[in-house]
Each structure stands twice: as C-alpha cells, then as structure tokens.
Structure 1
C-alpha cells in the first residue's frame, strides 16, 4: 500500500516595512490556495527545490485583512463580517491575490459601494476608499474604480445639497486638496451635479409659480360665479317686487281679483 500523500503547505507572510520584518499571516494547503487565487497559482507554479513547504512574502497589505481573507479561503467562511475599513482592506487583499471565483471579489466591491452610497460622506470614508481604489492604484481598471467613483458621487451630492456638517466638510476638503487626482474628479462631478441641481431648482420654482397661478385663477373664477349668483338673486327679487306692484294696480283697476299676497300693495296704492 502506498503511503498517504502529505499535503503541500504554503506559509504566507506580509512585509511590515515600519519594522523591517515579515509577519506570518497563515499556513494553508497549497491546493486550496491555488484554487482561489490566480496570483498565488502563478507564483507557486515556479518550481523550487522544496515543493513540500513554500514560503510566500507579500510586499504589502494589512495583516488583519490578509489573515481574514486567507482564513476565509481556508475555512470557506463569511468574507464580510467586519467593519467598513476592514472590508476595504479585504478588497485590497482580494485585488492583490486575484481572488477566485470573481463573484467573491465582486461581493466585497458591492458591499463597499452600498456602504458609501447609503451613508453620509466622512473624511475617513473618503480617505480610506481613495487610498485603496484610486484609478492609479488599480491600474485604471474601470470596474475596480466603481467604489471610488461611488464615494465621490456621494461626497459631492452631500456637498451640493448642503448635507455635510462644517467640521466634516473642512476635513474632507483637506483630503481632496492634498490629492490632485481626487480634486480633479471632485471638481468634474461637482460641476455636473451643480448644473443638475440648478436645473431642478429652476424647474421646481417654475412648477410652484404655475401651481400658485392656477390656484389664484381658480379662486377668481369661484368668486366670479358667487358674485353672478348674488346679482342674479337680487335681480330675481326685484322682478318679483315689480310684478306685485303691477298686479296690485290691476286689482285697483278691477281687472284682477284681490289676494292676501297683494293686499299690502293695494293698500299702499290707495294712500
């Protein structure tokens, strides 16, 4: 009987530049790692004398995020049970190792887009997303820029509509001013959203004026109808009064019979 094969293992380290040392992140089966990361698969395809145990040193990355992603690969765990900043760190790791299948990476990006699109922009969100996903950082990949562009849209939307508190606004402006690529994108987005808001405000004002004019005209028509009704009733009453006097004169002339309704008028004609 052939002896059981010993699984080949990979020790993953990350370089900590501040301390000039390599920190061990995880030890994981090579087949598992290669199945989920094309970057690791390409690197490990390069033969070395000892294939039983390989060491891989990643040049950058947040240890906690790296550990989370590798443990997710190892144990098939949930990738997103973490804070927003940690999710961005996880996104960076997924991008660096080309995590597979791609839908797992896409879920992380969608989580970030959802967060920045449904929460007020803050200096922390702006800086975190910009540092990780600015176009130059992701090789100008339009798909990978989507969280960055969603963040800019929300930040500018809040600014244009006056939703950003003064202190937060100042902190955001400091970050924008320190990053030319971010400032250019913000200026372009601001011009577009400002023009849309101005057009919307103008249309809203025109609608309000039109509605007010229509209400005023309707009021004038109602008042006119009421006035005509009152004049009509007065004219009708006057016609009835003239008719009674005429009938009273006929009674006096003997051409009409006397009635109680005409008695008062007949008496007045006798005086």
Structure 2
C-alpha cells in the first residue's frame, strides 16, 4: 500500500507533518489526489506552503479517524486557531466539504469582540474570500459598530488600530463603515426629532447601551422602537386621560400597517365609560309595586 508523506515548507525548510495511506487521502483530499496523479512508487510526497503544521495535522488526524465521514468541529477552539484550521481545510480541499467551520468563524466574529490577533488572522485568511464568505465583511461591520458606539476601552481600541496599520485595505474598509454608521445615526436622529423631541434624545441614549456582545444590534433596534412607542403612549395618556395598552402592544402596532391594530385605551375601560347608567324608576311605579 502506497504511503504519502505530507510536508509543510516555510522559508526553504520542510517539516514532516504526517504519513498516511494514499487510498485514504485520495478519497478525502482533492488537492492531494491531484498532486499524486503523476507520482509512482510506494512512497510519495506532498508539500504545502502558506499554512501551519499544527492545524494541518489537526485536519489530517480527523481524516484518519473518520475517513469519508469526516466532520470537523472547531467550536472549542479560539478564533485564531479556528481560522488556521479553516485554511488547512481549504488547502487540502477536504471531501466532504466542511462549511460548518466557516459558519462557526462568522458567528464567533458576530458575537464576540475581536482581538488584534483575531483581526489579523481573519483579515489575512478572508480578505480574498469576500465573495464566498461573510467572515471579513462581518468583522469590518462589527469593529465599526463597536468603535462607533464606544464599546472598546481606550487601550483595546489603540491595540486594534496599531495592529491594523500594516493593512491599508482593512483600515479603509473600517473607516468607511464608521462614516456610514455615524451618518445613519444622524439621519435617524433628525427623523426622530421631527416625530417628537423626547423620543429622539431617548433613543440616542439607548443606542449601544449595556455590556456584552450578543444580540446588541437587536437590543438597539428594540430600544429605538421602545422610545417611539413610549412617546406614542404618553401622547394617548394626555389626550384620553388614562393609560393605554401595554408598551409591547404599542410596539407591535407601530410595526404593523397603519390602522391594523387598536391603539386606544384598554377596551375594558371603554366599556365601563360607554355603559349606560341604570335609570331609576318613577316614584309612582315604585308605589304600585
């Protein structure tokens, strides 16, 4: 049975990563299968560049254990290592494909503050893959969002900026996104001011509030809707002299088509108001009874 020695070559030095059967590798790696087409004999060699030995060995170990049923999990790995494993998977062209690895990286970026090391790793691995993966655009958006809303400590922000300095395309993308987000905030503030003065200031105060990363954009949008509905509710209280439906109800109504949901006072209170008072019987009728 032919054996394949797999090397990683860097700066002219080749490091042996692992030796595996050709029959296994031909089934699970399209790259190795193509490289071995013109090699003969019982000992063959394959050399990779641009990837690290450790993540390549991680992927090859999974292939050795699971063969054509390989399913690589990286959810317990730090972001930089997950990105390196993704690069090894891409270099090998693993079969079956492993889209869950890229999906994990995108989700991790979307829900965790990026570190300088993670930022550089994602930029180097994914900038050229902007058309096939959301990882790089997601990182640019989340970094810009965090800068715009002041979620970074001063030291962390400086470290990110210093790490990004050697990469002008990354700097330009983040700067452009920050300008876009700031302009959108200004436009929203002007629109809110036209709707009502109070909710404009309130909604600006709500944007980006609270620690943590998970679902922050969703909370911001809910905060904005809550501010608008709060102003609407106060308006009804002033007009009708009573409390209206719950804030959640008003929020739902504001999302719906105009007139598609009841916005007035609670219907039970209306029934009490509209109920006709009981008429007293005339005195003569009472006496006859």
**Number of residue-to-residue matches in the alignment:** 206
Cα offset for 1:162?
A: 1.2
Greater mean alpha carbon deviation, residues 213-222 or residues 52-61: 213-222
Partner of 1:199: 187
Q: Secondary structure at the match of 1:134?
A: helix
Partner of 1:164: 152
The superposition leaves residues 188-230 of structure 1 with CA deviations (integer Å, 9 ceiling, x where unpaired) of 32233223333334445545167659737854875xxxxxxxx
Is 2:131 the partner of 1:142? yes
Is 2:189 the partner of 1:189? no
The superposition leaves residues 95-133 of structure 1 with CA deviations (integer Å, 9 ceiling, x where unpaired) of 11222222x1x1111111011100012222211111222
Distance 1:10 1:213, change over 3 A: closer
Distance 1:69 1:213, change over 3 A: closer
Is 2:28 the partner of 1:9? no
Distance 1:184 1:218, change over 3 A: same
Cα distance in structure 2, aligned partners of 1:198 and 1:59 = 48
Partner of 2:29: 37
Cα distance in structure 1, aligned partners of 2:108 and 2:170 = 19
Q: TM-score, normalised by structure 1?
A: 0.67
Q: Secondary structure at the match of 2:95?
A: coil
Larger-Rg structure: 1
Cα distance in structure 1, aligned partners of 2:231 and 2:50 = 63
Structural mapping, 1:107-256, within 5 Å: 107-135=100-128, 138=129, 142-144=131-133, 146-205=134-193, 206-207=195-196, 208=199, 215=234, 218-219=237-238, 222=241
Q: Where does the alignment leave 5 or more consecutive residues of structure 1 unmatched?
A: 1-6, 223-271
Cα distance in structure 1, aligned partners of 2:49 and 2:237 = 74
Q: Where does the alignment leave 5 or more consecutive residues of structure 2 unmatched?
A: 201-227, 242-289
Partner of 1:263: none
Q: Secondary structure at the match of 1:54?
A: strand
Stretches (4+) displaced over 6 A: none
Cα offset for 1:84?
A: 2.0
Cα distance in structure 2, aligned partners of 1:30 and 1:148 = 35
Cα distance in structure 1, aligned partners of 2:84 and 2:122 = 10
Q: Secondary structure at the match of 2:112?
A: coil
Kindly report the root-mean-square deviation, in angstroms, between the aligned alpha carbons of the 2 structures: 2.6
Q: Secondary structure at the match of 1:93?
A: helix
Q: Secondary structure at the match of 1:55?
A: strand
What is the aligned counterpart of 2:45 among 55, 67, 71? Answer: 55
Q: TM-score, normalised by structure 2?
A: 0.64
